């Protein structure tokens, strides 16, 4: 019951989904649509597990007065505020102009955009560290990155050539390499999917 039944569920649902792909008939389409909705619904229930884990971890840090426990208080305050504001007026709680959305616009959005923008700094420092003529591979990486970056920089007469070279690299050899990766990923993923369906790869099920 504990291990065989889940493996059976995986097998049956997996095989169904594969077969379903080849059958256009509406009866299969019907089950397919329900199955997809079930998956979403399971995900929604699981959200409670997430909130539970986050709350428990923060509360236990506060209780133990672990280093930085004050910051865990901030997390709990932020979480509780959003939950309260998001529910206290029913489904009107998250309409535009509510305090809930104010917090979204003035706290969530700027932090999110700033975290994202850190990439501008990191892409520079990563380029500095990685692009050295250390090995052949690193040199290829360096040279192509330079050619592409130089397309924005006026170089007088070479600009035309560089411009052309940059777009050629992007559309030809770049495409070839990406296809090789895509095909490889395709084979790896399909093989893994098969291993899952046939119950060979089952580490994700855990053990008793």
Write out the binding residues for other proteins, residues 95-114 only, by CB under 8 A: 100, 102-114
The verdict on 94 binding other proteins (CB under 8 A) reads yes
Radius of gyration of the chain (CA): 26
- Inter-CA distances, 76 with 68, 70, 110, 126, 166, Å: 13, 10, 20, 35, 50
The verdict on 89 binding other proteins (CB under 8 A) reads no
The verdict on 65 binding other proteins (CB under 8 A) reads no
Please, what is the minimum distance in Å from the beta carbon of residue 65 to other proteins?
16
The contacts of residue 198 (CB under 8 Å, 6+ apart) are 11
Decide: 86 and 94 in contact? Cβ < 8 Å.
yes
Please, what is the minimum distance in Å from the beta carbon of residue 118 to other proteins?
6
- 150 closest CA partner among 139, 161, 135: 161
Q: Interaction with other proteins in 145-204: which residues (CB under 8 A)?
A: 145-150, 152-155, 159-160, 163, 167-198, 200-201, 203-204
- Sketch the per residue contact string, 21 through 60, with other proteins: x for CB under 8 A, - otherwise: xxxxxxx-x----xxxxxxxxxxxxxxxxxxxxx--x--x
CA atoms within 13 A on the CB side of 66: 11
CA atoms within 13 A on the CB side of 179: 7
Residue number, 40 or 65, with CB nearest to other proteins: 40
Helix axes 26-63, 4-22, angle to 10 degrees: 140
Decide: 201 and 195 in contact? Cβ < 8 Å.
yes
Grouping H, G, I as helix, E, B as strand and the rest as coil, residue 85 is: helix
Which token pair is 149? 């970056």
């Amino acid at each position: 019951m504990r291990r065989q039944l889940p493996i059976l569920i995986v097998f049956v649902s997996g095989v169904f989904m594969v077969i379903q792909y080849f059958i256009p008939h509406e009866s299969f389409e019907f089950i397919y649509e329900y199955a997809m909705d079930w998956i979403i619904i399971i995900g929604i229930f699981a959200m409670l597990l997430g909130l539970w884990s986050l709350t428990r971890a923060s509360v236990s840090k506060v209780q133990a007065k672990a280093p930085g426990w004050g910051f865990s208080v901030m997390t709990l305050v932020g979480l509780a505020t959003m939950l309260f504001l998001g529910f206290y007026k029913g489904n009107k709680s998250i309409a535009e102009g509510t305090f809930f959305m104010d917090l979204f616009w003035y706290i969530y959005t700027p932090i999110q955009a700033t975290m994202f923008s850190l990439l501008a700094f990191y892409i520079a420092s990563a380029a500095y560290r990685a692009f050295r003529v250390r090995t052949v591979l690193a040199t290829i990486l360096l040279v192509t990155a330079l050619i592409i970056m130089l397309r924005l920089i006026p170089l007088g007469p070479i600009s035309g050539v560089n411009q052309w070279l940059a777009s050629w690299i992007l559309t030809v050899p770049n495409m070839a390499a990406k296809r090789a990766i895509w095909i490889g990923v395709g084979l790896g993923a399909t093989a893994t999917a098969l291993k899952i369906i046939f119950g060979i790869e089952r580490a994700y099920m855990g053990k008793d």
